[in-house]
Amino acid sequence: MRTAFLVKYGEIAIKGKNRNMFINQLRDRIQWKLNKIGDFTVSKDQGRLFVECQSENIDSEQIIGAIQKVFGILYVGEVKVYDKGDYAELAGHIKEYVRHNFERKDFTFKIEVKRADKSFPYNSMEIASKLGAELLAEFPELKVDVHQPQEKIYVELRANTYIYSKMSEGLGGLPIGCSGKATLMLSGGIDSPVAAYMIAKRGVELNAVYFHSPPYTSERAKDKVVELARIFSDYTGRLKLYVVPFTDIQLDIYEKCPHEELTIIMRRIMMIITEKIAEQTGSIAIVTGESIGQVASQTIQSLNATNAAVKLPVFRPLVAFDKSDIIKIAEKIGTFETSILPYEDCCTIFVAKHPVTKPILEKIEQSEKNLDGMEEKIAKAIAEAEVISIYPKSEAEK
């Protein structure tokens, strides 16, 4: 008998022709996640993945916890693997399974059997009821309850015999890498790390851009952004963070444009720079943490005015979320505590007392005409961007 881990995936099973690509991505992502913990092999078997560990002394909870963070998974749990044998051997296995895996033997149960291997002389229902009878004879305090059992015991007859009961829920979604690549505008706030998580959950690989305005924003503000990226990379996988020097551009806008339009013009230029970095790095969309009405720069009119600065689609996975819902996710993924550390960001320093909430595009474009030499400034900022490789804490820097 060996201990392994069974992974059930959902949505990806229905993706027709792309199915194999999805499953291979999922397998690779799981493999990657586990490399740091030990020596594992992940193999495909008819709609399931099996993770086997070659290392000694495995900590099942740690392994399940790691696998649970891989998008694309519905359930994961420990499974006992037995060599294929005849019915008498199978009956022995299930008794051994119950003896060793349940502390008390007085629960109600149901057995579910799946046969990929049809060589047994009974069908699945017959095997389930025969095995149930074997267990009742062996452990007299057990009771069968086919409607609301306390424990379901699953038996799968494949190339090997697999027995399992408890499964933990996965996050759903699609494996990273299945849906192309996007560039995230990452600030040190609560929202953009959550946006990273949400969009990555749909299988999108990320890189990120942070606009840094020293000395108005401190090194500690930048470190906070790096730390946030490191935390969410546990879900999104490793990524590159482009730290773009933004001070000159911001001062220029401050000097030459009407103050009530500062934020909107600044955001448009951030978008333009992000789009250029996206195009240079193979991204096909921009992602932000904006949500309708949260602040003056996030009215629908303002969002339209920023969209108009770029051609790539701008995805805002939090567009309809309340702050309280966003905070719940931030807490779940572990970014909240870092996000609320009180370091300034570049938007809070240059904000006007009364920013426009319904910008008119023609007027904004007119104001931007004052920004002579902006193209060169943008090119310089991109050329001088610092590129930081972000790895999840749980992964070695390879």
- Which chain residues interact with ligand ATP by CB under 6 A? 185-187, 189-192, 209-211, 288-290, 294-295, 297, 345-347
For 170, list phi and psi in degrees, rounded to 5. Answer: -95, -170
Least CB distance to Mg ion at residue 213 (A) = 13
74/308 with CB nearer ligand ATP:
308
Contact of 19 with 13, CB cutoff 8 Å: yes
178/186 with CB nearer ligand ATP:
186
End-to-end CA, the chain? 34
127/314 with CB nearer Mg ion:
314
DSSP 322: -
Least CB distance to ligand ATP at residue 369 (A) = 24
98/221 with CB nearer ligand ATP:
221
C-alpha to C-alpha distance for 208 and 76, rounded to whole angstroms: 30
Which of 12, 8, 128 minimizes the C-alpha distance to 77?
A: 8
128/303 with CB nearer Mg ion:
303
Least CB distance to ligand ATP at residue 48 (A) = 38
37/284 with CB nearer ligand ATP:
284
C-alpha to C-alpha distance for 171 and 164, rounded to whole angstroms: 20
C-alpha to C-alpha distance for 218 and 216, rounded to whole angstroms: 6
288 binds, among Mg ion, ligand ATP, none (CB under 5 to 8 A by kind): ligand ATP
Least CB distance to ligand ATP at residue 249 (A) = 12
Least CB distance to Mg ion at residue 389 (A) = 24
Question: Counting contacts by CB under 5 A, is residue 297 touching Mg ion?
Answer: no
218 binds, among Mg ion, ligand ATP, none (CB under 5 to 8 A by kind): none
346 binds, among Mg ion, ligand ATP, none (CB under 5 to 8 A by kind): ligand ATP
Q: How far is CA 109 from CA 63, 136, 287, in A?
A: 27, 10, 47
Contact of 222 with 253, CB cutoff 8 Å: no
For 88, list phi and psi in degrees, rounded to 5. Answer: -60, -40
185 binds, among ligand ATP, Mg ion, none (CB under 5 to 8 A by kind): ligand ATP
Least CB distance to Mg ion at residue 220 (A) = 16
Element counts in the chain: helices (H) and strands (E)? 14, 15
* Binding-residue total with Mg ion (CB under 5 A): 2
Contact of 163 with 90, CB cutoff 8 Å: no
**Residues contacting 299, CB < 8 A, separation 6+:** 292, 293, 357, 358
Least CB distance to ligand ATP at residue 176 (A) = 19
Encoded one letter per residue, x for contact with Mg ion by CB under 5 A and - for no contact, window 187-216 reads x-x---------------------------
Angle at 331 between CA 328 and CA 332, to 5 degrees: 85
C-alpha to C-alpha distance for 376 and 249, rounded to whole angstroms: 10
CA 87 to chain centroid: 42
- Of all residues in the shown chain, the one whose CB is closest to Mg ion is 189
211 binds, among ligand ATP, Mg ion, none (CB under 5 to 8 A by kind): ligand ATP
189/359 with CB nearer Mg ion:
189
- Of all residues in the shown chain, the one whose CB is closest to ligand ATP is 189
Least CB distance to ligand ATP at residue 318 (A) = 8
| SS3 state of residue 184 | strand
Give the residues lining the site for Mg ion (CB under 5 A). 187, 189
